[in-house]
C-alpha cells in the first residue's frame, strides 16, 4: 500500500496505475483471507445434508470453481483494468442511476455474510471461554452473541479507520486460517475416517442426481456472492492477468477446501462448527489453538466485507463527501443490528439466504459478462462511469437501462422457477443444469437481445 493515497484508499474513485501494487501472492493472501472464513463450514454443512463425503466434496468444489469463474468474468477484467470496485463496474449495464440495484444487492449480501460470521465468531468465543474455564459450562452463545457482536463491530470500525491499509495488515496475519483449517480437517478425517466413509446425509432426496446438482448449486451460489469482494480486492492489482490465478485458487479453491470441514463435521458429528467438536476430537489444547484462529479469521473476513461495502456505498452521491468514519458507521450498523437482535433467526434461515444470493447474483453476472465481452467488445469509457455529464454514455433512460433491468428480472424469474429458495423444491431441468447457470444464461441472452433489438444508446457505447 506504499503508493496508495489516503483519499483513494477510502473512496470509490479509480486507483492510479502506480497505486495498484499488489502482486499475485499478496492478492491471493488477501482473497483467501476474505473467502476462507467460518462461513465455509456452514456452506459445507448444507452440501453434507444431501450428499456423502466424497460426492459433497467433489460437487461443492466444482460448484465453487464454476461460480468463481462467472463472478470473475463479470467484474474482474473491468475492475482490474480501471482500478474500480464492483459497483462502479455495473454502471455501463444498469445506467448512471440503475447501478443502485446491484449496490443494494451487494449491501444485503455483505450484511448477511458478515452477520453470519459474527454469530459464528460469538459461538467460537463462547466455546473458547468455556474451554479455558473463563465462563461456566452452562452459558451458551445465545447470551454472548449480542455483546460479542458489538465488541467485534467496534474492533472492525477501529481497524478500518486506516482504510485498506488495515485490510492488508490483517490479511497478512489471518491467512494462517487456511493451514489451520486444513489441520482441523486432517484431525477430523484421520480420527473418524471409518465413520466418515459410511456416513449418510440426513436430508438426501431419493433422486441421486438431484442431490449431486444441489451440491454444485450450493458451491456456485456461495462463490457468486464473492462478486463484491472481487472488485474491492483486485482493483489493487496492476491488471486482470495477475488476478486470474489468485482469484480462482485464493478464493474459489480455498472456499472449497475449507468447506470440507463443514461436510465432514455435519456427516460424522452432526455439527459443522469446529468449535463444538474440536474439544472431543482433538482435546483441550488443540481446541484452544484452533478456536483462537477461527475467531481471528472471522474478524479478518468481516473487515474485508465491511471495507468492500463501504467502498461500494461511496458511489452514492449522498455519501460521496461523507467522512470515512461516518461511512464506516453506516456500513457496520446493519450488521451489528442483525447480530445483536436476530442472530438465531438469521442463522436458521441460511439456506434461504444462499438461494437468494443465486437469485440475485447469477443474472447480474450473466448480464455483465454479455455486456463486456459480447456487446462492447471490451471497450469501456472510464470517464463516463464517473461523469455526471448527461451527454456522456451510460445515462440511458433517466439513468436506468431497461434492457438490464428486464434481463435481471427474467434471470431472477428463471431461477425461482427452477428452484424455490425457501423450500428447495425444484422443477424443470434443475437436476441437469442447476438454477444459477440457466438464470445467468437467460439474463445474458435477454440483455443482448433487448440491447440489439431496441438499439439502446447506453448499452451500445
Partner 1 sequence: MQKPIPMPEELERRIEAIERNDAGDLNRASWFWLLLFGVAIPAALLLWGWWA
Helix/strand/coil for 426: strand
- Site residues (CB under 8 A) for partner 1, limited to 386-415: 386-391
Q: Shortest Cβ distance from residue 75 to partner 1 (Å)?
A: 13
Whole-number Å distance between alpha carbons of 170 and 227: 21
DSSP annotation of 323: -
Stretch that binds partner 1, among 28-36, 50-58, 146-154, 327-335 (CB under 8 A): 50-58
Determine which residue in the list 142, 191, 197, 378 makes contact with partner 1, applying CB under 8 A.
378
Determine which residue in the list 14, 166, 274, 366 makes contact with partner 1, applying CB under 8 A.
14
430 binds partner 1 (CB under 8 A): no
Helix/strand/coil for 419: strand
Judge whether 278 and 184 are in contact, CB under 8 Å: yes
**Positive or negative torsion for Cα 140, 123, 125, 105:** negative
Going from the C-alpha of 301 to that of each of 170, 397, 455, the distances in angstroms are 9, 38, 42
# of chain residues touching partner 1 (CB under 8 A): 49
Pick the closer one to partner 1 by CB: 70 or 266.
Answer: 70
What stretches of 260-357 adopt beta strand conformation (E)?
none
Judge whether 86 and 228 are in contact, CB under 8 Å: yes
Pick the closer one to partner 1 by CB: 31 or 180.
Answer: 31
- Site residues (CB under 8 A) for partner 1, limited to 219-248: 238-241, 244-245, 248
Pick the closer one to partner 1 by CB: 319 or 382.
Answer: 382
343 binds partner 1 (CB under 8 A): no
Whole-number Å distance between alpha carbons of 74 and 440: 11
Q: Shortest Cβ distance from residue 208 to partner 1 (Å)?
A: 9
**Which of 55, 113, 39 lies closest to 261, judged by CA?**
39
Q: Shortest Cβ distance from residue 51 to partner 1 (Å)?
A: 9
- Backbone phi and psi for residue 397, each to the nearest 5 degrees, phi listed first: -100, 110
Stretch that binds partner 1, among 62-70, 132-140, 349-357, 438-446 (CB under 8 A): 62-70
* Cell matching residue 316: 452514492
Determine which residue in the list 28, 30, 37, 80 makes contact with partner 1, applying CB under 8 A.
80
173 binds partner 1 (CB under 8 A): no
50 binds partner 1 (CB under 8 A): no
What stretches of 263-395 adopt beta strand conformation (E)?
none
Question: Facing residues of 426 across strands?
Answer: 419
- Site residues (CB under 8 A) for partner 1, limited to 174-213: 212
Task: Give the residues lining the site for partner 1 (CB under 8 A).
Answer: 7-8, 13-17, 20, 54-55, 57-59, 61-63, 65-66, 68-70, 72-73, 77, 80-83, 212, 216, 238-241, 244-245, 248-249, 252-253, 378, 382-383, 386-391
Amino acid at each position: 500500500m506504499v503508493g496508495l493515497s489516503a483519499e483513494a484508499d477510502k473512496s470509490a474513485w479509480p486507483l492510479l496505475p502506480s497505486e495498484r501494487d499488489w502482486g499475485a501472492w499478496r492478492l491471493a493472501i488477501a482473497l483467501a483471507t476474505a473467502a476462507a472464513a467460518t462461513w465455509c463450514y456452514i456452506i459445507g454443512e448444507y452440501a453434507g445434508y444431501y450428499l456423502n463425503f466424497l460426492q459433497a466434496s467433489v460437487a461443492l468444489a466444482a460448484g465453487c470453481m464454476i461460480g468463481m469463474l462467472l463472478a470473475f468474468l463479470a467484474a474482474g477484467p473491468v475492475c482490474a483494468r480501471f482500478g474500480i470496485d464492483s459497483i462502479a463496474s455495473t454502471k455501463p449495464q444498469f445506467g448512471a442511476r440503475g447501478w443502485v440495484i446491484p449496490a443494494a444487492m451487494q449491501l444485503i449480501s455483505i450484511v448477511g455474510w458478515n452477520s453470519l460470521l459474527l454469530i459464528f465468531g460469538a459461538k467460537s468465543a463462547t466455546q473458547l471461554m468455556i474451554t479455558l474455564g473463563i465462563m461456566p459450562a452452562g452459558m451458551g452463545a445465545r447470551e454472548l452473541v449480542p455483546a460479542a457482536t458489538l465488541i467485534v463491530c467496534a474492533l472492525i470500525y477501529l481497524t478500518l479507520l486506516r482504510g485498506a491499509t488495515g485490510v492488508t495488515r490483517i490479511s497478512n496475519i489471518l491467512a494462517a486460517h487456511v493451514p489451520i483449517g486444513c489441520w482441523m480437517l486432517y484431525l477430523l478425517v484421520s480420527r473418524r475416517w471409518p465413520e466418515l466413509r459410511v456416513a449418510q446425509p440426513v436430508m438426501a432426496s431419493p433422486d441421486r442426481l438431484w442431490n449431486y446438482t444441489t451440491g454444485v448449486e450450493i458451491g456456485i451460489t456461495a462463490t457468486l456472492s464473492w462478486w463484491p469482494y472481487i472488485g474491492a480486492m483486485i482493483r489493487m492489482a496492476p491488471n486482470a492477468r495477475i488476478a486470474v490465478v489468485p482469484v480462482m485458487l485464493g478464493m474459489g479453491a480455498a472456499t472449497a477446501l475449507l468447506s470440507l470441514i463443514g461436510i465432514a463435521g455435519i456427516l460424522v458429528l452432526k455439527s459443522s462448527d469446529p468449535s463444538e467438536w474440536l474439544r472431543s476430537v482433538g482435546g483441550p489444547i488443540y481446541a484452544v489453538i484452533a478456536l483462537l484462529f477461527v475467531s481471528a479469521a472471522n474478524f479478518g473476513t468481516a473487515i474485508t466485507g465491511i471495507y468492500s461495502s463501504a467502498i461500494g456505498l461511496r458511489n452514492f452521491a449522498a455519501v460521496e463527501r461523507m467522512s470515512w468514519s461516518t461511512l464506516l458507521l453506516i456500513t457496520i450498523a446493519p450488521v451489528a443490528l442483525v447480530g445483536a437482535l436476530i442472530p438465531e433467526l438469521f442463522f436458521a434461515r441460511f439456506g434461504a439466504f444462499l438461494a437468494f444470493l443465486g437469485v440475485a447474483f447469477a443474472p447480474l453476472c450473466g448480464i455483465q459478462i454479455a455486456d463486456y465481452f459480447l456487446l462492447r467488445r471490451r471497450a469501456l469509457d472510464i470517464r463516463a462511469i464517473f461523469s455526471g455529464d448527461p451527454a456522456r454514455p451510460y445515462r440511458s433512460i433517466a439513468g436506468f437501462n431497461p434492457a438490464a433491468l428486464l434481463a435481471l428480472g427474467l434471470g431472477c424469474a428463471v431461477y425461482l422457477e427452477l428452484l424455490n429458495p425457501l423450500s428447495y423444491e425444484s422443477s424443470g431441468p434443475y437436476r441437469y443444469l442447476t438454477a444459477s447457470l440457466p438464470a445467468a444464461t437467460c439474463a445474458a441472452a435477454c440483455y443482448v437481445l433487448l440491447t440489439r433489438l431496441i438499439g439502446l444508446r447506453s448499452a451500445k457505447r
